[in-house]
Every structure is written in C-alpha cells, then in structure tokens.
Amino acid sequence: MIECLILGDSIAEGIAHYRQECKTLTQTGITSKAWNTRWITQNLQARTVIISLGSNDYKGIKTRQELESLRELTKAEGVFWVLPYGNNAKSGVEIKQIQNWVLEIAYDYRDFVLTIQATQPDKVHPTQPEYKRLADHTR
C-alpha cells in the first residue's frame, strides 16, 4: 500500500507541492466528473488520501454523485477532504451546496475536512503558507 495519494484539482496540486512523497492524480481546472472519467479506475488505496474536488463543477454535473462514487472506491486509513472555497455562482452552482455535499460525504465515511482559511486574491486558491498548513494537517 502506498503511503499517500492526492486526488483532484489545482488546490490538490498546491498541497502536493508540500507533500512531494505522495502520488498525485491531479489536474488544474478539472471537474469532479472529468476526474472520475479519467482516473476512477486507478487504485485508490493508500494510508492517507487527500481529495480536493468540486470547485470547478458547473451546472449539469451531478457533483454529489461524482464525489460519492469517488469516495466509495477510496480505501484509506485516513481521508482528508479540502472544503471548496469561493464563489462559482456564475457557473450555476452554489459553492455552499457543494460544501454541504462534501461535508455530508465526509460525515458518512468519518473522514476529516480541511477548511481553507487564507486565500489568494482570486478568493479560491489558498496562499502558499495556507497550502503548507493544509498539507501539514494531513500528516
């Protein structure tokens, strides 16, 4: 079993910068549906799994179902979800709804949830010190 696996979007990539020992399945701007289409058949087993998805989802993507499918296939001693931050209302999806889905899934599986406390000017991506803090909390 591998030690650490990081799954997701650009936020996941930022965390991976501080967890270079982890295997990564990430892509900037990826939606939860696109992530599942590309990587859901991979071995998603590790001691620690870090997931950051949902921030790039838009109307028409069944975010809850996509995240649930991913979590169902993830096997780990500890799973950490990064709660999406910001406002993607222009995409037709309220970030609060996606946050609620992440929280529900994490609760159902007894996973950990990490919240972003400091963002870059785009109000979505963490600052570099915040990426480090998030990464440190997954150790």
User: Which sequence spans correspond to the domains of the chain?
Assistant: 2-137
| DSSP β-ladder status, 23-26 and 2-8 | parallel
List phi, psi (to 5°) of 70: -60, -50
Q: Strand 45-52 vs strand 23-26: parallel, antiparallel, or unpaired?
A: unpaired
The separation between CA 26 and the C-alpha centre of its own chain, rounded to angstroms, equals 10
Fold entry, domain 2-137: Rossmann fold (3.40.50)
Give the pLDDT score at 90: 52
Predicted TM-score (pTM) of the model is 0.95
Which of 132, 77, 85, 87 is CA-nearest to residue 110? 77
pLDDT tens per residue, range 7-61:
999 999 999 999 999 999 999 999 999 999 999 999 999 999 999 999 999 888 9
CA 55 to chain CA centroid, Å, is 9
Q: What is the pLDDT of residue 94?
A: 83
For residue 95, what pLDDT band results from cuts at 50, 70 and 90? confident
The model's pLDDT over 69-89, given as tens digits with 9 standing for 90+, comes to 999 999 999 999 999 987 655
